């Protein structure tokens, strides 16, 4: 298997990044100075989150995509980071809990990944934290930052995803091989600790067996085509921002306990592909707006879902 080191750059020109890393399927890159002006670089420590937001409920998962985790508190989880082989206080839960309200009655079988805090909606619960990660990285256009708060909330409700998240994890935390949702570009901004990332172009999709292969310990007998893939590899250091173009597969392992800002976004290069997903999920989008008086007022929407059913829609084009 061919291996390539992800380029590291700083003091870049956005037009150069668009030409060199967004054209075609794109190419990942680390920008070393993208968040030099972020207050989070000095302010966000494990102790800060514990002291200010420690009572927040949060769900820690046994790796991304495991579907099994524990409902705990942010404070308990941060204490757990220094002894990730120990017991994390909390209640076992599972991803489909909304459809099956019964919690897990016993600890699941053997697991190889430590608990990873992917289920703390810190930015949603505490919007003041956005001030600590501003301005947005300068090297790429990001249209999500142009959305009003209400429209951003509507888009997140329709996709059932969040554009931005704070990820906290111990050494060994894992986001197994996957690609992100709805043709979004993404970046991982590393605040504390280091992570190792392995990425694959969309052009290598046929060699990745739908993401089932483990690029750290590949089983070439089960996945022989994986030998033809090209792995782009890097270590994300504190202060680094790893840009991941749309549809690139990536596998990210924590090398130390860490704090990361994950952000998905769209711009002129993937706008049509991303927005098309909202049209495909239009009923969910419409229902989300219909159920929220605040969104309806903020977006000046006068219709109701029943208007579509009854054929009584009147559009005000003023």
Span 221-251, pLDDT tens digits: 999 999 999 999 999 999 999 999 999 999 9
Q: Which domain holds residue 266?
A: 2-278
Query: Does one domain contain both 299 and 233?
Result: no
pLDDT of residue 225: 97
- Residue 209 domain-assigned (yes or no): yes
Query: Does one domain contain both 183 and 85?
Result: yes
Q: In what order do the strands lie in the sheet with 249-254?
A: 2-5, 230-236, 195-200, 249-254, 174-178
- Residue 317 domain-assigned (yes or no): no
- Residue 157 domain-assigned (yes or no): yes
Q: Residue 249 forms beta bridges with which residues?
A: 200
Query: Could you tell me if 241 and 137 are in contact, meaning their C-beta atoms sit under 8 angstroms apart?
Result: yes
- Residue 195 domain-assigned (yes or no): yes
The number of domains in the chain is 2
pLDDT of residue 181: 96
- Residue 225 domain-assigned (yes or no): yes
Query: Does one domain contain both 267 and 296?
Result: no
- Residue 109 domain-assigned (yes or no): yes
Q: In the chain, how many H helices and how many E strands?
A: 10, 15
Eight-state DSSP code of residue 89? P
Residue 195, burial from CB neighbour count under 10 angstroms (0-12, 13-18, 19+): buried
With tokens 């592909």, the residue in question is 273
pLDDT of residue 131: 97
The structure tokens listed for 240 are 């680094």
- Residue 114 domain-assigned (yes or no): yes
Query: Does one domain contain both 133 and 157?
Result: yes
Q: Give yes or no for residue 254 having a pLDDT over 90.
A: yes
Mean pLDDT across the chain, nearest whole number? 91
**What's the gap between Cα 102 and its chain centre?**
27
Query: Does one domain contain both 300 and 189?
Result: no
* Mean pLDDT value across residues 213-220: 96
Query: Does one domain contain both 39 and 173?
Result: yes
Find the CATH number of the domain harbouring 193: 2.60.120.650
* Mean pLDDT value across residues 140-147: 96
Query: Does one domain contain both 204 and 73?
Result: yes
* Mean pLDDT value across residues 121-141: 96
Q: Give yes or no for residue 98 having a pLDDT over 60.
A: no
Beta carbons within 10 angstroms of residue 258's beta carbon: 22
List C-alpha distances in Å: 249 to 2, 18, 177, 210.
16, 19, 6, 10
pLDDT of residue 305: 80
pLDDT of residue 101: 44
Query: Does one domain contain both 234 and 285?
Result: no
- Residue 194 domain-assigned (yes or no): yes
């Amino acid at each position: 298997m061919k291996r390539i080191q992800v380029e590291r750059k700083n003091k870049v020109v956005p037009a150069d990044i668009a030409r060199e890393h967004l054209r075609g399927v794109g190419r990942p890159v680390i920008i070393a100075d993208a968040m030099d002006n972020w207050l989070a670089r000095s302010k966000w420590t494990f102790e800060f989150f514990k002291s200010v937001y420690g009572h927040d409920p949060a769900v820690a998962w046994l790796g991304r995509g495991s579907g099994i985790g524990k409902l705990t508190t942010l404070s308990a989880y941060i204490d757990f980071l220094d002894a990730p082989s120990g017991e994390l206080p909390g209640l076992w839960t599972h991803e489909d809990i909304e459809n099956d309200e019964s919690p897990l009655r016993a600890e699941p079988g053997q697991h190889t990944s430590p608990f990873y805090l992917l289920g703390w909606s810190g930015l949603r619960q505490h919007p003041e934290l956005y001030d600590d990660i501003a301005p947005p990285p300068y090297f790429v256009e990001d249209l999500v930052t142009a959305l009003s708060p209400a429209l951003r909330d509507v888009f997140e409700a329709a996709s059932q995803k969040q554009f931005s998240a704070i990820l906290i994890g111990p050494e060994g935390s894992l986001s197994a091989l996957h690609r992100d949702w709805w043709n979004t570009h993404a970046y991982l901004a590393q605040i504390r600790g280091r992570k190792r990332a392995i990425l694959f172009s969309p052009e290598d999709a046929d060699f990745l067996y739908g993401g089932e292969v483990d690029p750290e310990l590949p089983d070439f007998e089960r996945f022989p085509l994986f030998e033809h893939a090209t792995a782009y590899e890097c270590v994300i250091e504190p202060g680094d921002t790893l840009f991941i173009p749309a549809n690139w597969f990536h596998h990210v392992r924590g090398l130390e306990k860490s704090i990361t800002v994950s952000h998905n976004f769209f711009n002129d290069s993937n706008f049509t592909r991303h927005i098309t997903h909202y049209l495909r999920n239009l009923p969910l989008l419409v229902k989300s707006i219909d159920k929220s008086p605040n969104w309806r007022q903020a977006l000046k929407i006068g219709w109701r879902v029943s208007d579509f059913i009854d054929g009584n829609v009147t559009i005000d084009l003023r």
